[in-house]
Every structure is written in structure tokens, then in C-alpha cells.
């Protein structure tokens, strides 16, 4: 395979999000978030945990920056907790909340780590939800004001800004399937939510350009290559439909200024749009959504293999035996990372791409954290190695990939799954808050230091002839 060609200036990072690591949900003037509220309802979080303490990063952030320094990463993707900055959703800005991020940004820069800031990683102020949350167009103005407050304070030092993380998850898991906060089940509402998210992205990009001149702004999408389970026309059509609602519903407006016509027709056929159609789209919205950005963030975890369900609706199937799946039930499919990056480049031509999340949940051997040294996690090491190889292949094919962020720096609150799913390069003991490196942390550290992927075959170091 030879030496990898990751371009100079490549961002090697780790990623987290505020609600998943910070804890301290009632400190420093922070308001309630929709995830605080959702997690307080029995049954909503599978293991009964909640994010009130999580990794206690709010108090331990210096220790966590030190972990990153030891990894040798040069970038850290984290998110700002919206209700720390605007506890009531609108109006008064909580300067104390911004102080926390101000200190974090300075701490990162002092450690030689570039802050890569996400504004919305799902923890919407509950006060906004009480007025409809993302179903209301007023959320667009609220988000724009929030983007303004944060970028006024941090725009002099933060060079990379993400507006939203994975709008599909917000809209479809939160408002269609009821599996995420706020727990609604309304397919039509989800499309309205998706539109408001995209519109607020466009508005926020304008604000970021004003408050952080010269910085780069983009959005992060969860993307998967979609394959039909069989070659039957029904399965192929189901794959097309799935691709339309999962990938193209977001990519097409962001890069082409229009929702995909076939996917709109699917939604009408499924009764998800009433006679009024896309009545939430106002003149000027689509041009705003398509405001040019500096990069697209791609979160990649797996491919989607799809067959037609009884009513023709796309149904995702598990294409490999259960013992080959991660603890999330997801297939590790490294080639899919190369495939989605090449597709995005070919069909949408973003100015640059970052892999803003990639990683796997695996449990540890029972006694592992007690043993000395790093915790063995060979499956995570192999996952990272194979995906970085796929990223390298995409670069070799001309994809403008500029960064890679492993999910995640440490175990954290995995939304509806709770703390039972562990994605961390570092193990977190939630009773003591002790962080312990896994072997994958050391592997990633060494990989970054080498800046290369070794040959699969053993290296033979032969003496050069004089």
C-alpha cells in the first residue's frame, strides 16, 4: 500500500459534543436542554442513564485537553451547549456560559490544538421547544442570534465553524421516529424541521462570515452509501427512496438549491406532505440554504443496505452476521467511506471535505479497566486503520479531504442508548471519572506521529546500495 498521501496541513482530530460530555447541566447559568428533559422521562434512555454528569468535562476540561495533547492531535471538534449561552432560548446572553468556551479555546490553542466548533449538536434550549422548537420558523431567528453571540465572542480565534450536526438525526430521529429528543412522531413535521435547520444554516453562515472573517464555515451531514439488497426493481427503488430521504434531502438543497424532485414525490405518495406540499418554503429560502460554504463535514459510520418492505417502504437490513456488528448494530464497512467521499465530490463538488466523525462502539473485556496499561480494543484499532486507509484512497482519487476526526475522544452519553455504548479512544469510569487510554488511542497517536499507513505486509528495511 505504501506511504499515505495525507496533504500538508491535514487536520488530525478527535470529536465530542457538549451534551454528551459536559455534565454540569445546572451550573454556570445553563438553561435546560431538550435532551435534559427527554432523558428525565423513564424509558426514553435505554440504560436509564442521563446526561446530568456525563464525563464531567465542564470541570475536567483541562485534563481532557491534556489527553488530546498526548494523542498529538492538531484539531478538536466540540460543540457549544446552546442553553449555556442562551438559557431561555432567546434574549439574554449568559456571559458566564461563553466564559467556559473562551477558556477552553484558549487552552486548546495553548496546546497547539485548533478548535473546530459546532454550534448545534442537538441540545436545543427547552424554552425554544416550548414554542415549537424546530417546527417553528422562529427557531431560525433564534439560531441566527445564537450563532451571532458565540461568534462575536470566539470568532477572533476559532478558524472552523460548523452550523449543525447531522440534521437528518434531528429531523427524523427527533420528530419522525420519536427516538431522540423531543420525541415527536410526525413525518410531515420532520420535513418542516429539516427545512428550518437548513435555512438557519444558511443564515448562520452569513453571520459567521461577518463575525469571523477568514474563518471557514460548513455543515456536518451523516451520510451513507446506499445499496439495494437485491437487483430486483422493488429493492432498487427502495434504495433510491432511502438515498433520497437520507442523503439527497440535505445534499441537494445545500449544493443545488432545491429538494430532490423524486424524494418530494415519494413524500407526497407516502402522505407525508399534505396538499399544501412544501408550504414551509418561502421565497429566498433555497438560495439562502445554498449559500456557498468552505467545507462539508461528513460523518461516516456504515453503509445502508436496503430492501423494499411490504408497502414498498425502504427497510434497512443487516448484511453481515450479528457477531460482526458493532455494539450499535452497525456494520463496519470501510470501503463505504471512500465511496461516499468520491460520490460527494463527483455529484456536489464541495470546496473541501472533513470526515468530522468516524468510529465504533465496542465493549471491553470484563476486567480490562483494572489492568495496567492501555485497554485492548483490537476491533476498534482495526476499524480506524481500515477507515483511514479508505480515506487515503479517496485522497488518492482526488477528493479534497482536509481532516479526519475520530469519534470519540472518550466514552460518553450516547443519546437514547445512554452510557452503555462506548465509542471512546479513552475508557471512562463513570463512578470515578477516571479516563484510561485504550490501545486505539495509542494506535491513533502513533499513526498521527507517522503520518502514514504502513504496508499490510511486514516492512523489510534493506540497506540502500551506496
Instruction: Output the smallest distance, CB 166 to ligand IFM, in A.
Output: 6
Considering the complex, state which of residue 76 and residue 259 has its C-beta at the smaller distance from ligand IFM. 76
Considering the complex, state which of residue 114 and residue 165 has its C-beta at the smaller distance from ligand IFM. 165
Binding status of residue 123 toward ligand IFM by CB under 6 A: no
**Residue written as grid cell 546500495:** 465
Q: What backbone torsions phi and psi does residue 52 show, to the nearest 5 degrees?
A: -65, -30
Cell of 209: 462570515
Four-residue CA torsion sign, 454, 457, 459, 465: negative
Instruction: Output the smallest distance, CB 438 to ligand IFM, in A.
Output: 17
Binding status of residue 414 toward ligand IFM by CB under 6 A: yes
Instruction: Output the smallest distance, CB 50 to ligand IFM, in A.
Output: 15
Binding status of residue 407 toward ligand IFM by CB under 6 A: yes
- For 368, the 3-state DSSP assignment is helix
* Number of residues binding to ligand IFM, judged by CB under 6 A: 7
Binding status of residue 331 toward ligand IFM by CB under 6 A: no
Q: Which of 446, 445, 354 is nearest to 69 (CA)?
A: 445
252-271 residues in contact with ligand IFM (CB under 6 A) are none
Nearby residues of 269 by Cβ (< 8 Å), 6 or more positions away? none
Q: CA–CA separation, 403 vs 407, rounded Å? A: 13
Considering the complex, state which of residue 68 and residue 173 has its C-beta at the smaller distance from ligand IFM. 173
Active site residue 166: yes
The β-bridge partners of 116 are: 77, 160
Q: Which of 269, 345, 276, 278 is nearest to 313 (CA)?
A: 269
The dihedral formed by the CA atoms of 379, 384, 387 and 392, expressed in degrees to the nearest 10: -140
Catalytic residue among 166, 241, 331, 414: 166
Active site residue 389: no
Binding status of residue 299 toward ligand IFM by CB under 6 A: yes
Binding status of residue 120 toward ligand IFM by CB under 6 A: no
Binding status of residue 302 toward ligand IFM by CB under 6 A: no
From the CB of residue 131, how many other CB atoms can be counted at a distance below 10 Å?
A: 13
Longest dimension (CA), the chain: 79
Considering the complex, state which of residue 27 and residue 417 has its C-beta at the smaller distance from ligand IFM. 417
Considering the complex, state which of residue 33 and residue 299 has its C-beta at the smaller distance from ligand IFM. 299
Instruction: Output the smallest distance, CB 152 to ligand IFM, in A.
Output: 26
Considering the complex, state which of residue 143 and residue 407 has its C-beta at the smaller distance from ligand IFM. 407
Binding status of residue 17 toward ligand IFM by CB under 6 A: yes
Instruction: Output the smallest distance, CB 299 to ligand IFM, in A.
Output: 5
Q: What backbone torsions phi and psi does residue 11 show, to the nearest 5 degrees?
A: -90, 120
Catalytic residue among 32, 227, 241, 357: 357
Instruction: Characterize 2-38 residue by residue with b for buried, 16 or more Cβ atoms within 10 angstroms of its Cβ, and e for exposed.
Output: eebebeeebbbbbbbbbbbbbbbbeebebbbbbbbbb
Instruction: Output the smallest distance, CB 71 to ligand IFM, in A.
Output: 19
Considering the complex, state which of residue 16 and residue 211 has its C-beta at the smaller distance from ligand IFM. 16
Q: CA–CA separation, 114 vs 122, rounded Å? A: 22
Q: CA–CA separation, 98 vs 105, rounded Å? A: 11
129-148 residues in contact with ligand IFM (CB under 6 A) are none
Instruction: Output the smallest distance, CB 123 to ligand IFM, in A.
Output: 10
Binding status of residue 357 toward ligand IFM by CB under 6 A: yes
Q: CA–CA separation, 223 vs 168, rounded Å? A: 9
Catalytic annotation, residues: 166, 357
Q: Binding residues for ligand IFM, per CB under 6 A?
A: 17, 20, 166, 299, 357, 407, 414
Amino acid at each position: 500500500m505504501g506511504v499515505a498521501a495525507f496533504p500538508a496541513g491535514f487536520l488530525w482530530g478527535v470529536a465530542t459534543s457538549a451534551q454528551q460530555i459536559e455534565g454540569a447541566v445546572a451550573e454556570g447559568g445553563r438553561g435546560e436542554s431538550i435532551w435534559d428533559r427527554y432523558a428525565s422521562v423513564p424509558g426514553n434512555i435505554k440504560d436509564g442513564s442521563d446526561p446530568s454528569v456525563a464525563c464531567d468535562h465542564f470541570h475536567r476540561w483541562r485534563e481532557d485537553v491534556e489527553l488530546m495533547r498526548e494523542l498529538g492531535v492538531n484539531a478538536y471538534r466540540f460543540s457549544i451547549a446552546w442553553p449555556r449561552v442562551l438559557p431561555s432560548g432567546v434574549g439574554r446572553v449568559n456571559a458566564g456560559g461563553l466564559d467556559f468556551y473562551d477558556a477552553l479555546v484558549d487552552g486548546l490553542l495553548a496546546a497547539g490544538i485548533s478548535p473546530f466548533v459546532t454550534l448545534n449538536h442537538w441540545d436545543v434550549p427547552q424554552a425554544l421547544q416550548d414554542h415549537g422548537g424546530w417546527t417553528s420558523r422562529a427557531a431560525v431567528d433564534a439560531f441566527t442570534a445564537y450563532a451571532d453571540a458565540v461568534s462575536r465572542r470566539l470568532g477572533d480565534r476559532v478558524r472552523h465553524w460548523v452550523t449543525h450536526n447531522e440534521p437528518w438525526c434531528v429531523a427524523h430521529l427527533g420528530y419522525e421516529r420519536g427516538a431522540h429528543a423531543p420525541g415527536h412522531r410526525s413525518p410531515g413535521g420532520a420535513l418542516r424541521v429539516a427545512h428550518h435547520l437548513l435555512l438557519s444554516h444558511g443564515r448562520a453562515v452569513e453571520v459567521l462570515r461577518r463575525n469571523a472573517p477568514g474563518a471557514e464555515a460548513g455543515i456536518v451531514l451523516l451520510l451513507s452509501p446506499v445499496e439495494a439488497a437485491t437487483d430486483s426493481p422493488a429493492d432498487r427503488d427502495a434504495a433510491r427512496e432511502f438515498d433520497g430521504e437520507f442523503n439527497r434531502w440535505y445534499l441537494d438543497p445545500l449544493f443545488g438549491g432545491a429538494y430532490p424532485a423524486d424524494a418530494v414525490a415519494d413524500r407526497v405518495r407516502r402522505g407525508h406532505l399534505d396538499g399544501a406540499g412544501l408550504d414551509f418554503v418561502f421565497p429566498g429560502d433555497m438560495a439562502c440554504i445554498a449559500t456557498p460554504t468552505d467545507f462539508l463535514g461528513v460523518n461516516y459510520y456504515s453503509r445502508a443496505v436496503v430492501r423494499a418492505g411490504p408497502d414498498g417502504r425502504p427497510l434497512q437490513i443487516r448484511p453481515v452476521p450479528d457477531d460482526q456488528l458493532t455494539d450499535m448494530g452497525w456494520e463496519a464497512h470501510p470501503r463505504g467511506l471512500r465511496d461516499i467521499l468520491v460520490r460527494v465530490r463527483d455529484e456536489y463538488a464541495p470546496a473541501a471535505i472533513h470526515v468530522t466523525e468516524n468510529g465504533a462502539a465496542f465493549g471491553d473485556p470484563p476486567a480490562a479497566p483494572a489492568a495496567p496499561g492501555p485497554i485492548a480494543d483490537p476491533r476498534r484499532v482495526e476499524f480506524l486503520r481500515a477507515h483511514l486507509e479508505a480515506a487515503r484512497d479517496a485522497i488518492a482519487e482526488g477528493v479534497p479531504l482536509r481532516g479526519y476526526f475520530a469519534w470519540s475522544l472518550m466514552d460518553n452519553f450516547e443519546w437514547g442508548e445512554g452510557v452503555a455504548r462506548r465509542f471512546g479512544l479513552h475508557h471512562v469510569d463513570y463512578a470515578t471519572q477516571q479516563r484510561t487510554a485504550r490501545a486505539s488511542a495509542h494506535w491513533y497517536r502513533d499513526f498521527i506521529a507517522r503520518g502514514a499507513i504502513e504496508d499490510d505486509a511486514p516492512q523489510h528495511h534493506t540497506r540502500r546500495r551506496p
